[in-house]
Structure 1
């Protein structure tokens, strides 16, 4: 599979799925809502989100909306060879805004796609080239953020807030508001202080709580998934296996087992 760039509106009904390729969604018009394995956010014109492969995501458009979508398999030219570092963009889901230079490049991409399509000359290689430049620009901005400055975040207070809302659709905006910071400042300061993205941190607390519930209760897996903020039992099992190396059902079959090994991300 090669990279593919397409422009579509999103249905206003809520849908969900996971796929074995990475995806970037950028708003061109209107608004859309996304929840990517517990991380929720909105996309409007000139903002977007990163959906790593095999991550369950819920999505719905709002009214008249239009999105630019990049589908990127692991072996895409834009993610291999000299561009192999760009795959770091997909270490975790995240939401982002385009700055002025990227806005101008997005306009070029949309115009180029329309012109080449009309001429019948839109090849897979040309889509890869357009995707590579966009990915490289995003990588430079999102993986090399300036060091955060200012007071330290009160992680204990944030932990209490996360635990109180663990079963809900927690958004980065909610955590930023709790810390009295903008999303951009919160994201930068959180990474500087913890070494993790907010999504990675929340996911870790979801899994730690689910592990405790598996040991201390006889709740069914579906209820533990709901209590810890996973949209479905399958999403919970997939995240649990990815982190601990085996499914949550093994904990139930071997209740004395201590989970001390986490898979590296």
Structure 2
């Protein structure tokens, strides 16, 4: 599979899926909402998001919207050979805004696609080159966010904030605001402090809460998924299987089996 560049509107109905290639979505007009493995945000003109391969995400456009979508397989020309370090751009989901230079390149890219499309076909290799230039420019900007120093993050306070909003579509911007940091500084400080990206950390908190409800309550699994911020039962099942090697339904069956095997307590009056 080669890289593919599309310019499309997103359906206003919410969709959920995952795919085995990386994806970059950049707003051209209107607005769209994304939630990627539990962290959400919106994109509008000249802003976008990064969706790593195999990450479950939900999305929906708002009214009249138009997006530029780059589908990039792991073996894409732009991420192989001496350009292999560009794959680090897809280490974790993130939202970004285009600066002035990238806005000009985006307009050039669109004009180039329109020009080539007049012949009814855009050569795949040329799409790879256009996508690779954009990928390299994004990587240079996002990878160069400055390291920060200062007081340590108050993880206990962040944990309380996450737990209070566990069922909400949390954004990195929400966590950064709670920590009184810019989003860029928060991302860097958080990874230094925990070794995890914010979305990985939030997903772990959600899974811990879900396991508690699965083992200690009789709530339906679909309700537990909603309470703990997963977009669907399938999203919870997929995350639980990846983290613990079994679906939540198996954890509940195992828990019930252990309870049924406990010996009856002796009667105090016997």
TM range (shorter): 0.7 to 0.9
1:95-134 per-residue CA deviation (whole Å, 9 max, x = no partner) reads 1112233222222211211111123451111111111121
TM-score, normalized by length of structure 1? 0.88
Aligned to 1:220: 220
**Residue 33 (str. 1) matches residue 33 (str. 2):** yes
- Superposed displacement of residue 203, structure 1: 0.8
1:10-36 per-residue CA deviation (whole Å, 9 max, x = no partner) reads 223333322222211011222211112
User: How many pairs align?
Assistant: 257
- Superposed displacement of residue 49, structure 1: 0.4
**Residue 69 (str. 1) matches residue 69 (str. 2):** yes
1:161-211 per-residue CA deviation (whole Å, 9 max, x = no partner) reads 100111111122222222233323322332333232211111111112222
What SS does the aligned partner of 1:12 have? coil
User: What RMSD in Å do the two structures reach over aligned CA positions?
Assistant: 2.2
Q: Distance in 1 between matches of 2:75 and 2:199?
A: 25
The structure having more radius of gyration, on CA atoms, is 2
- Superposed displacement of residue 39, structure 1: 0.9
List runs of 5+ in structure 1 lacking aligned partners. Answer: 257-265
Q: Answer yes or no: is the 8 Å Cα contact 2:145–2:184 preserved in 1.
A: no
1:216-254 per-residue CA deviation (whole Å, 9 max, x = no partner) reads 333332222111110111111111122223322332233
Aligned to 1:167: 167
Aligned to 1:196: 196
What SS does the aligned partner of 1:13 have? coil
TM-score, normalized by length of structure 2? 0.86
* Equivalent residue runs for 1:1-265 within 5 Å: 1-255=1-255
List runs of 5+ in structure 2 lacking aligned partners. Answer: 257-270
Aligned to 2:264: none
Q: Distance in 1 between matches of 2:248 and 2:142?
A: 33
